[in-house]
């Protein structure tokens, strides 16, 4: 049973527009959430995080929103750039890291 879900396997967005990647979780004990980005043939790299005591964290073009009551978080990328094309993994921490299955983002020029 997946504790961290990313229901959209893929997403295509036009360059310059907003990309919104979604993530849902089931374990209310998760207290820290992260987004990772992965290019082919490379390991995932950390992108941005948010603790369960916050509802928003922003870093440049990237903003993560957390809705604890809905057990939902999202990553907003604005404006989207072709170099953002990658697989994005949502992760949550309770004891150790639990990753979602990933969403493949394609930013079209």
Partner 1 sequence: NAGVMQNPRHLVRRRGQEARLRCSPMKGHSHVYWYRQLPEEGLKFMVYLQKENIIDESGMPKERFSAEFPKEGPSILRIQQVVRGDSAAYFCASSPRGGGLNTEAFFGQGTRLTVV
Enumerate binding residues for partner 1 (CB under 8 A): 6, 31-32, 34, 36, 41-46, 49, 51, 87, 89, 91, 93-102
Q: Name which of 44 and 75 has its Cβ closer to partner 1.
A: 44
Q: Exposed e or buried b for every residue in 8-34, given b needs 16+ CB within 10 A? A: eeebebeeeeebbbbbbbeeeebeebb
Which residue, 82 or 101, has its beta carbon nearer to partner 1?
Answer: 101
Shortest reach from residue 51's CB to partner 1, in Å: 5
Radius of gyration of the chain (CA): 13
Whole-number Å distance between alpha carbons of 26 and 59: 26
* Identity of the residue, 15 or 68, whose beta carbon is nearer to partner 1 in the bound complex: 68
Q: In angstroms, what is the minimal distance from the CB of 63 to partner 1?
A: 18
Q: Which is nearer to partner 1, 63 or 100 (CB)?
A: 100
Smallest gap, in angstroms, from Cβ of residue 70 to partner 1?
Answer: 21
In sequence order, what E strands does 1-109 have?
Answer: 4-5, 10-14, 19-25, 32-38, 45-51, 56-59, 62-67, 72-77, 86-94, 96-99, 103-108
Query: How near is the Cβ of 84 to partner 1 at its closest, in Å?
Result: 18
């Amino acid at each position: 049973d997946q504790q961290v879900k990313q229901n959209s396997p893929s997403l295509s967005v036009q360059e310059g527009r907003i990309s919104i990647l979604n993530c849902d979780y089931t374990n209310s004990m998760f207290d820290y959430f992260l987004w990772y980005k992965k290019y082919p043939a490379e390991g995932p790299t950390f992108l941005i995080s948010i603790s369960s005591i916050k509802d928003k964290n922003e870093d440049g073009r990237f903003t993560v929103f957390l809705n604890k009551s809905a057990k939902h978080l999202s990553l907003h990328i604005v404006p989207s750039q072709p170099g953002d094309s990658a697989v994005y993994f949502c992760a949550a921490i309770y004891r150790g890291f639990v990753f979602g299955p990933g969403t493949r983002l394609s930013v079209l020029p």
